[in-house]
Amino acid sequence: MTNLRSFAAAACGLAAAFLLAGCERPPVESTQTGYRGTGIVQVVNPRIAAANAALHAAPATTPAAPAEGPKARDVYQNVKVLGDLSVAEFSRHMVAITEWVSPQEGCNYCHNPANLADDSKYTKVVSRRMIEMTQHLNVNWKDHVANTGVTCYTCHRGQPVPSNVWFNPVVETPRIFIGDDAGQNKVATQAGLSSLPYDPFTPYLEQEAPIRVGGPTALPTGNRASTKQAEFTYSLMIHMSSALGVNCTFCHNTRNFATWEDAPPQRLSAYHGIRMARDVNNAYIEPLAPVFPAHRLGAGGDAAKANCATCHQGANKPLFGAQMAKDYSGLTALAQALAAGSTLPPPLAEAMRSVMYFDTGSATLHGEQAKGLAQLIATMTATPAATATISGYHSASGELAANQELAKQRAFTVRDALLAAGIAEQRVVLDKPLQTEANIAGEDPVARRVEVTVK
Ligand code: HEC
Ligand code: HEC
Ligand code: HEC
Ligand code: HEC
């Protein structure tokens, strides 16, 4: 009897201990990150953190190679964005890039082994533009990436295709009874398995749909934002929270989600992060769609784009703030324009077509190029019935908005010269090309041009 009772007691005790241990395995850590009483705390489960430690560990970097000696652009044949590095440092960058992007495949993932200068593999063309993108992020988006910066590893983590990318969803033709699903009624993996709209990326990380939906008054007076819009905002917010492995109070004082005054400073970092993601997707990744093979594209023909998770992968700072970029000078300064005095191609001056080339960052024509312009004026004067249609272009190096303006100014230079030479205004037409960027990456003299058709 006693034996049985003590056995039962022991069994109960064991079960209780087991249950309690189940609750407490291991206790979660909660850190206060805002004012007392505001509930601004972050909760971390050490077990999950330990399981993900390897994902967030930065790989070791090799010591910098000597910066002296001949430059890569003088030794190699086809170096457009890393030309300023010494040959030794250039090679070190190639080794690092291989380790970050294609460790299994090696150099030949991007290179034709018979000729390293050859651009026939799309992966090399994409990489050249990715180098420029990384430079741009480290130089022009300090508001977001600060001194932590980014390298290829931030997104790629040893894989050619980063683990977190997204495509534009293909909108199915509305079915008769169901109609447009407004992005809902599907399990939204993008939004933490909620039933919120499943594509918060196209409107906010590619387009610029308004995110702020709250009204300033208790009653809905004057606030035109709908419940549906608010659901899209929440979908984005859940993506941002899960991408960073944080809860809403990492960025908000939940007393009032809209207020900025007593919100944690991370709210502002996130604000810049949203704009930066748009810039990455619009200026760099989307224009590469024609370069990617079909099997890399989404159902709608778009390239795989970045969101917060592409870099963060569940950490509040990618790789918990490990500063890898500072050790790679090729990724922390903008590609220098080709050596000064680089030769422009001769201007083209045919009866029906003229092309004039410009120096880096310039909208004026000198020397040979000015002679090409004079030739165009002569042709226009000699054929009074002809109209000149002028289009300006720029190279891929530098900031897109500034470059588009430059392409326009180049077209204006030619137009103004024709008008100044007495050509009637109605015979001079400006035609903005669909794409003013005339090459994929780097500073290519052939790209910096104005084309004129004379008909
Ligand atoms: C992920 C893509 C990628 C990988 C992997 C890669 N490279 Fe490159 N490589 C490039 C790009 C892009 C350029 C052009 C850089 C530029 O335009 O500034 C380049 C250029 C070169 C050049 C200059 C060739 C010339 O004459 O123009 C050499 C040499 C080179 N790489 C060697 C290597 C070696 C060796 C490896 C392996 C350790 C390697 N690369 C791995 C992308 C890659
Ligand atoms: C902001 C994140 C990000 C950074 C930083 C980044 N990439 Fe990418 N990369 C992407 C995305 C997104 C794609 C598109 C995925 C695909 O190929 O479908 C991509 C694609 C590529 C591809 C094509 C791979 C394939 O198999 O199709 C190469 C090669 C590449 N990147 C090289 C680089 C190199 C080299 C660097 C560093 C100089 C770099 N990337 C930095 C996000 C990034
Ligand atoms: C990483 C920071 C961050 C996290 C985490 C975050 N938010 Fe936000 N939230 C922002 C930023 C930044 C804005 C403003 C965006 C803008 O104006 O471009 C915003 C805007 C909002 C708005 C609109 C406010 C207005 O002015 O109308 C709501 C509502 C909101 N967040 C709710 C949430 C909820 C709910 C969560 C948790 C599921 C959350 N947020 C998590 C940064 C964050
Ligand atoms: C190109 C890579 C990249 C992308 C994409 C990116 N981030 Fe970041 N983010 C970083 C880096 C690097 C840091 C670290 C900056 C630092 O050290 O302060 C950072 C820091 C932050 C911080 C500050 C964290 C802290 O602990 O102070 C917030 C908040 C943040 N990111 C939100 C976002 C949101 C939201 C998005 C998507 C809209 C986003 N990020 C997209 C690279 C990225």
Question: DSSP characters for 187-247?
Answer: -BGGGTTBSS-S--HIIIIIS--------SSSS-SS----HHHHHHHHHHHHHHHHHHT--
Q: Model-level pTM?
A: 0.83
Q: Environment class of residue 351 by beta-carbon count within 10 Å: exposed (0-12), middle (13-18) or buried (19+)?
A: exposed
Average pLDDT over residues 82-88: 94
Q: Which residues line ligand 3 (CB under 6 A)?
A: 211-214, 233-234, 237-238, 240-241, 244, 246, 248, 250-252, 257-258, 266-267, 270-271, 274
Share of the chain above pLDDT 90, in %: 62
- pLDDT category of residue 338 using cuts at 50, 70 and 90: very low
To the nearest whole number, what is the mean pLDDT of the chain?
A: 88
Q: Mutation test of ligand 3: which of 33, 143, 237 has the most ligand atoms closer than 8 Å to its C-beta? A: 237
For residue 83, pLDDT beyond 60? yes
Average pLDDT over residues 426-450: 87
Q: Is the CB of 240 under 6 A from ligand 4?
A: yes
CA atoms within 13 A on the CB side of 261: 2
- pLDDT category of residue 336 using cuts at 50, 70 and 90: low
Average pLDDT over residues 104-126: 97
179 phi/psi in degrees, rounded to 5 = 70, -165
Report the nearest-CA residue for atom 42 of ligand 2: 155
Residue type, 66: P
Q: Is the CB of 311 under 6 A from ligand 4?
A: yes
30 phi/psi in degrees, rounded to 5 = -120, 130
Q: Is the CB of 311 under 6 A from ligand 2?
A: yes
Report the nearest-CA residue for atom 41 of ligand 2: 152
Ligand with the closest atom to the CA of 304 = 2
DSSP letter at 173?
A: P
Q: Is the CB of 269 under 6 A from ligand 2?
A: no
Share of the chain above pLDDT 70, in %: 91
- pLDDT category of residue 9 using cuts at 50, 70 and 90: low
Query: Which carries the bigger pLDDT value, residue 184 or residue 287?
Result: 287
Q: Is the CB of 373 under 6 A from ligand 2?
A: no
Query: Which carries the bigger pLDDT value, residue 97 or residue 441?
Result: 97
Task: Give a three-class secondary structure readout of 27-62.
Answer: CCEEEECCCCCCCCEEEECHHHHHHCCCCCCCCCCC
Q: Is the CB of 313 under 6 A from ligand 4?
A: no
- What is the arrangement of strands in the sheet containing 353-357, beginning at the earlier edge strand? 348-349, 353-357, 449-454, 388-392, 428-430
Residue type, 398: G
> How far is the C-alpha of 447 from the C-alpha of 228, rounded, in Å?
45
Ligand with the closest atom to the CA of 137 = 4
pLDDT of the residue at 185: 73
For residue 26, pLDDT beyond 50? yes
For residue 431, pLDDT beyond 80? yes
Please provide the DSSP assignment of 309-375 as one string.
Answer: HHHHTTSSSGGGG---GGG-HHHHSPPPPS-TTPPPPPPEE-SSEEEEE--TT-----HHHHHHHHH
Domains and CATH numbers, the chain: 15-51 (no CATH), 348-454 (3.30.1330.60)
Ligand with the closest atom to the CA of 305 = 2
Within 8 A by CB and 6+ apart from 168, the residues are 199, 202, 206, 298, 300, 302
Please provide the DSSP assignment of 74-141 as one string.
Answer: HHSSS-SSSTTSBHHHHHHHHHHHHHHH-TTT-GGGT-BTTBTT---SHHHHHHHHHHHHHHHHHHH-
Query: Which atom from ligand 4 is nearest to the alpha carbon of 266?
Result: 29
Average pLDDT over residues 112-135: 96
Query: Which carries the bigger pLDDT value, residue 361 or residue 175?
Result: 361
Tens digits of per-residue pLDDT, 221-249?
A: 888 888 889 999 999 999 999 999 999 99
| 403 closest CA partner among 379, 368, 374, 438 | 438
Tens digits of per-residue pLDDT, 372-426?
A: 999 999 999 999 999 999 999 998 888 888 899 999 999 999 999 999 889 999 9
Q: Is the CB of 145 under 6 A from ligand 4?
A: yes
Q: Is the CB of 337 under 6 A from ligand 4?
A: no
- pLDDT category of residue 85 using cuts at 50, 70 and 90: very high
For residue 284, pLDDT beyond 90? yes
- pLDDT category of residue 337 using cuts at 50, 70 and 90: very low
